[in-house]
Copies of this chain bind each other. A is one copy, B any other.
Amino acid sequence: MSGRGAGGRGPAPKVSALDGEAPESTDFANYFCTYAYLYHQKDMLEDHKRTGAYYNACMQNRAQFAGKVVLDVGTGSGILAIFAAKAGARKVYAVEATDMAKSAKRLVAAQGLEGTVEVIQGVIESVHVPEKVDIIISEWMGYFLLRESMLDSVLVARDRFLKPGGALYPSHARMYLAPIRSNICRQRHNDFQNSMEGWAEFVDEMKQYYGVNLDCLSEDYRKEQLDYFSYTAAWTDIHPSQVVGSAACFKSYDLHTVTLDELKAPLKARFTLNVLEDGPVDAFCGWFDTQFKGSGQNPVTTEVTLTTAPDPTGATHWGQQSFFLHPPIECAEGDVLACDIEVVRRKDNQRLMDVAIRHRLEGPRSTGKDRLTCFHIE
């Protein structure tokens, strides 16, 4: 046997032995483990659009933090808990599932904040927090906002520990989709074709060397590779000039009111995209932003927004998730793309998503036909 582990090139694991939700141990193996490494914490910390937004959300709203009790869900290195303490919080509970909790403890002590910040190792669903809190701060966002499903845990924390009128940091989140032009579309299609040529050579070789005809698996291989190269959303760093139409905000969440049930149900939205340039639309590009507005009863002084939109200075570590189309949609300025999107959690791994996008070109060049493409977010 032997492969270089499940990582690297190739699709993400399918846990075929499981039905329904994964048990906690599998979730640790699949998910939490990554966050136990300082290398990965560094990666997130040095994304200064991310870290800076949280820093500003705290330091520019000291009045909101002064004397308050704060809970940091998934504190990792402890950085957000430290920001909250520096902004004047009386007490910060910093909850972390992995052994990174030990590093957080040391980092807190090194800043002389051990009197204010209490690091608690555990999962938020079962952890004991000694008192109700005024503010919950958390950096829970995954690719395309929802990957990792960590917002679930923040809502659990909200319902268990947030005082009435208390505030979530961030308080709001929005999801966007826009039409883009990108060479990556053709590159991925070429990679797919090369892969299929490699398979054809391989089938010939197996026939010649061992008299075994593998052609009966060619269609399955094609599907597996198509799945990988065409139907898996790609991490991209898109330049704003590549965005060739209007961006639609197709979903927004008020984190104070959204329920766990809403979050777990399929996300369905209908919207239109206005094409602003002649030429092919190679992909739908998806991103998100989060806003720090405080709650209705405890609004912020200074509103802060963290966006992962295409940016000429480069992407955040989230990049944008691009959904490539084979073939591209031939468009002209003034065309309208009528779209429906559905985002569903994967049954075999609730932290990953399937995304179905249906689009129809409207206007004089419309064929009247819908086109549906289904993608994975891995």
Chain A: residues with CB nearer than 8 A to chain B? 1-8, 10-18, 22-26, 28-40, 42-46, 48, 51-52, 55, 74, 76-77, 79, 82-83, 86, 97-99, 103, 106-107, 109-111, 139-143, 147-148, 150, 199, 202, 205-206, 209-217, 220-221, 224-225, 228, 235, 317-318, 378
Contact = CB atoms under 8 A, between A and B. Distances in A.
Nearest to A82: B212
9 contacts: A1-B76, A3-B43, A6-B31, A13-B33, A17-B25, A23-B23, A38-B220, A48-B209, A107-B212
Among A52, A140, A224, A225: residue with most chain B CB under 10 A: A224
A34 B6 contact: yes
A260 B43 CA distance: 42
A220 to B, nearest CB: 6
Among A7, A18, A82, A221: residue with most chain B CB under 10 A: A7
A5 B378 contact: yes
Contacts of A37: 10-11, 224
B107 A202 contact: no
Contact of A32 (B12, B17, B48, B317): B17
Contacts of A40: 3, 10
Contact of A98 (B16, B18, B76, B98): B16
Contacts of A22: 25, 29
Contacts of A213: 110-111
A24 B221 CA distance: 27
Given A2-B141, A14-B36, 16 more contacts: A1-B74, A4-B235, A13-B33, A13-B34, A16-B36, A17-B28, A18-B28, A38-B217, A39-B225, A46-B205, A48-B205, A51-B209, A77-B214, A103-B220, A110-B215, A110-B216
A33 to B, nearest CB: 4
Contacts of A110: 213-216
Contact of A2 (B5, B24, B82, B143): B143
B1 A39 contact: no
Contacts of A76: 1
| Among all A-B residue pairs, the 6 with the closest Cβ atoms | A7-B7, A13-B33, A110-B216, A17-B28, A38-B221, A26-B29
A15 B51 CA distance: 27
Contacts of A31: 6
Nearest to A110: B216
A114 to B, nearest CB: 12
Nearest to A39: B10
A99 B7 CA distance: 19
Nearest to A225: B39
Contacts of A221: 38-39, 42
